[in-house]
Amino acid sequence: MPKSGKRAGLRETPLDASDLDGDPLKQFAAWFQPRAGSGVPEAHAMTLATATKDGSPFARTVLLKEATERGFVFFTNYGSPKARQLMENPRATLVFYWPEVHRQVVVSGRVTQVTDAESDAYFRTRPRGSQLSAWASRQSERLESREALERRVTELDGQYAGREVPRPPFWGGFRLVPERFEFWQGRSSRLHDRFCYSRDGGRWVIERLAP
């Protein structure tokens, strides 16, 4: 959990149930969009926590690319450890932390792969350098040298000179469909405000949690 205590220059912001939208996705947008639109570095960065089939935990930072009523989308190499873990054990947790406002959001749920059409559409929006990198990098595998990686990118750039770079078949997206949200507002003396949204049939139930 982020450090408690009052930080220099940070105004304490109380959070009450009456401040929350009944829809957790709308509440997430209310906290996320000001960060994303105000020049906060990597406001869309999130910790993705996964586990292997036998329960061994792993976590790393990835980038949020979409947050809609359908879920939270991110992209990766399908041969990477995180992708293999999600295919073995399709449950995960996302953690967003914005220290400049002392806020955290935790989102948990089931994960599925997005369609090829969705992955293709997003891949086409990426800068050409990022497209080439997706082909060049066998994510998390041992690498002979930085030079070998850069040489591979140069080869690919020549291979696709004058034409569109296609999406690698081993690269694409995942979507986490939320089953639980937690919104955390830092307060002084570790008396933080925490609220949990959980599913009860077709509706969301909001409960205050002890800090």
Angstrom distance (rounded) from CA 113 to CA 38: 31
Is residue 184 annotated as involved in ligand binding?
yes
Is residue 80 annotated as involved in ligand binding?
no
Is residue 104 annotated as involved in ligand binding?
yes
Is residue 167 annotated as involved in ligand binding?
no
DSSP code at position 189 = G
Is residue 112 annotated as involved in ligand binding?
no
Is residue 140 annotated as involved in ligand binding?
yes
Quick one: which of 195, 187, 184 has its CA closest to 12? 187
11 carries an active-site annotation: no
Quick one: which of 106, 116, 57, 114 has its CA closest to 81? 57
Is residue 123 annotated as involved in ligand binding?
no
Give 32's contacts (C-beta < 8 A, 6+ positions apart). 43, 44, 67, 96, 105
Is residue 7 annotated as involved in ligand binding?
no
Angstrom distance (rounded) from CA 211 to CA 197: 15
Quick one: which of 29, 77, 16 has its CA closest to 208? 16
Catalytic residue among 190, 199, 203, 208: 190
Q: Which residues are tagged catalytic?
A: 190
**Annotated binding site: which residue ranges?**
60-65, 75-76, 82, 104, 139-140, 184, 194
Tell me the binding residues for FMN: 60-65, 75-76, 82, 104, 139-140, 184, 194
